[in-house]
């Protein structure tokens, strides 16, 4: 098993992380904002953007994906 095989569970065939990774990324970003006390950064748009950068996925992924647009909004609001 090569090193790249260990990453196969977290990435889909399109190179987009699994739903679990995408969701955890959003939750971790919200938690990080709370820890830093930067509550002005706690907007859906800013959390999505920060998570996209942290996960190394295309900018606008959460907003432009039909399913993840609503799902990310719900997750962020749940965590906040």
* DSSP string computed for 6-17: GGTTTB-TTSPB
- pLDDT (tens digit per residue) in 60-73: 999 999 999 999 99
> Band of the pLDDT at 8, cuts 50, 70, 90?
very low
- pLDDT (tens digit per residue) in 17-45: 999 999 999 999 999 999 999 888 899 99
Q: Please give the Cα distance from 29 to 49 (Å, whole number).
A: 10
| Residue numbers of the domain that contains 25 | 17-79
Residue 48 lies in a domain: yes
Cβ of 30: how many Cβ atoms within 10 Å? Answer: 21
Q: Please count the structural domains in the chain.
A: 1
Residue 3 lies in a domain: no
pTM of the model: 0.82
Residue 11 lies in a domain: no
Residue 4 lies in a domain: no
Residue 64 lies in a domain: yes
Residue 2 lies in a domain: no
């Amino acid at each position: 098993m090569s090193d790249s095989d260990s990453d196969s569970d977290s990435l889909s065939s399109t190179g987009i992380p699994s739903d679990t990774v995408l969701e955890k990324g959003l939750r971790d970003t919200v938690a990080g904002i709370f820890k830093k006390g930067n509550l002005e950064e706690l907007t859906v748009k800013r959390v999505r953007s920060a998570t996209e950068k942290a996960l190394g996925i295309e900018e606008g992924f959460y907003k432009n994906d039909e399913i993840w647009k609503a799902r990310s909004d719900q997750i962020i609001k749940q965590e906040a």
